[in-house]
């Protein structure tokens, strides 16, 4: 097989990306569970019994399949329709407002906590659904915007608070970078869907704190954990998936892409966003990349860049691909990086027979069962298909769906 498939801006690369995108959509489409939500799937694409239906996974399926719809790679609206219905009828809490984290196979609330992380993905889902014209998007968007405004928005600091119990009572004073990062992503999508400037301004403000201030002060290794006063908490360690100790190179790649996205939406006015993005990208690659055994990006490092958790998961490589592609669109010389990340993805993560991406390069099974949801991996193969920096949904409709129809 030709190495051209890894080379930026070649027909072979485009075809290879499209082939993987089609396999991913085909693999995850059967995860739809008629009783609500989506099943987690094993390596062969079979439902894993007893798994909860989680808010972020439901919302990310809506977002991902909305992108597929825009690109013309998904030919019906079943997944988006089902996900939107699940968000409104099963995750939405009619007693207390907001959206519960998970429900079980019988439809009963499994974990009722209200996490900012999950709620911003609901905003992302509603925005992505609106961008493809879904009839229920405005209802969901208006509701989730109100919940975020009343419950999570820390107006004094222009950032998102983290978590509450189901009845909105306080359960911790933790503040996290991760929820705010995905809040930026959701606010940018909401701005694209509504043209409301407030969403963009809030995204820019969050970026300036976490990247412009914290990144610059910590050698472009972003602190993950904060206390109620928004002071860094370097000793904190929580859930190993969502709140590990240390700093996460994969998140730095995501933040870099979001800086470029926001800069583009804001009329390319503030060049500091470009500098921040490049600094984050370089440091993340330097700290995270491991060439041995086919390559990969380790999960976490300490404040000096020394490894903490050396698992090589799929999602940091997926984010590195998308960010390298975005920098290439701006003329940066990142073609060798792009090829390196794609080579790693094919070697370790892509299942070119069944579809979907394996979660761990070492197949150790410590953190994940089966193949995780489509969100990171589908964006990795969709971002390089269009020259656009922002407004991906519109760009896919213009540059991919239209091209496939011709």
**Which residues are part of the catalytic machinery?**
251, 376
Closest CA to 383 of 312, 334, 313: 334
DSSP 115: E
Query: What's the rounded Cα separation, in Å, for the pair 61 and 39?
Result: 11
Three-state secondary structure along 174-239?
A: CEEHHHHHHHHHHHHHHHHHHCCHHHHHHHHHHHHHHHHHHHHHCCCCCCCEECCCCCECCCCCCC
Question: Are 183 and 119 contacting, i.e. CB atoms less than 8 angstroms apart?
Answer: no
Contact 360, 368 (CB under 8 A): yes
Ramachandran quadrant class, 356 (left: phi over 0; alpha: psi -120 to 50; beta: rest)? left
The enclosing H or E element of 397 equals: none
Quote the CA–CA distance of 39 and 57 in Å, as a whole number. Answer: 9
CA–CA separation, 115 vs 398, rounded Å? 35
User: Angle of helix 78-86 relative to helix 116-131, nearest 10 degrees?
Assistant: 140
Percent helix, percent strand, percent coil in the chain, to nearest 5: 55, 10, 35
């Amino acid at each position: 097989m030709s190495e051209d498939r890894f080379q930026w801006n070649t027909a072979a690369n485009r075809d290879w990306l499209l082939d993987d995108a089609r396999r991913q959509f085909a693999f995850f489409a059967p995860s739809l569970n008629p009783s609500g939500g989506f099943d987690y799937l094993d390596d062969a694409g079979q439902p894993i019994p007893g798994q909860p239906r989680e808010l972020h996974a439901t919302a990310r399926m809506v977002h991902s399949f909305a992108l597929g719809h825009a690109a013309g790679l998904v030919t019906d609206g079943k997944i988006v329709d089902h996900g939107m219905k699940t968000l409104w009828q099963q995750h939405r809490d009619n007693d207390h407002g907001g959206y519960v984290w998970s429900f079980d196979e019988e439809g009963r609330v499994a974990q009722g906590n209200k996490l900012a992380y999950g709620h911003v993905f609901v905003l992302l889902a509603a925005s992505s659904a609106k961008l493809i014209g879904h009839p229920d998007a405005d209802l969901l968007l208006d509701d989730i915007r109100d919940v975020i405004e009343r419950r999570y928005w820390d107006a004094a600091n222009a950032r998102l608070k983290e978590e509450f119990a189901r009845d909105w009572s306080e359960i911790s004073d933790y503040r996290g970078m991760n929820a705010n990062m995905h809040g930026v992503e959701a606010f940018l999508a909401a701005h694209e869907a509504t043209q409301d400037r407030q969403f963009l301004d809030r995204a820019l403000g969050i970026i300036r704190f976490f990247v412009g201030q914290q990144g610059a002060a910590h050698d472009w290794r972003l602190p993950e954990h904060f206390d109620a006063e928004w002071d860094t908490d370097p000793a904190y360690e929580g859930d190993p998936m969502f709140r590990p100790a240390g700093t996460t190179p994969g998140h730095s790649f995501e933040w870099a892409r979001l800086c470029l996205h926001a800069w583009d939406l804001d009329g390319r006015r503030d060049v500091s966003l470009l500098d921040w993005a490049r600094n984050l990208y370089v440091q993340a690659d330097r700290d995270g990349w491991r060439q041995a055994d086919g390559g990969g990006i380790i999960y976490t490092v300490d404040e000096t860049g020394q490894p903490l958790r050396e698992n090589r998961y799929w999602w940091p490589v997926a984010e590195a691909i998308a960010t390298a592609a975005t920098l290439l669109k701006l003329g940066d010389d990142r073609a060798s990086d792009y090829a390196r990340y794609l080579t790693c993805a094919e070697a370790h993560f892509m299942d070119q027979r069944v579809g979907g991406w394996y979660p761990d390069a070492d197949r150790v099974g410590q953190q994940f069962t089966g193949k995780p949801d489509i969100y990171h991996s589908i964006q990795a193969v969709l971002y390089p298909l269009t020259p656009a920096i922002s407004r991906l949904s519109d760009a896919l409709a213009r540059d991919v769906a239209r091209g496939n129809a011709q």
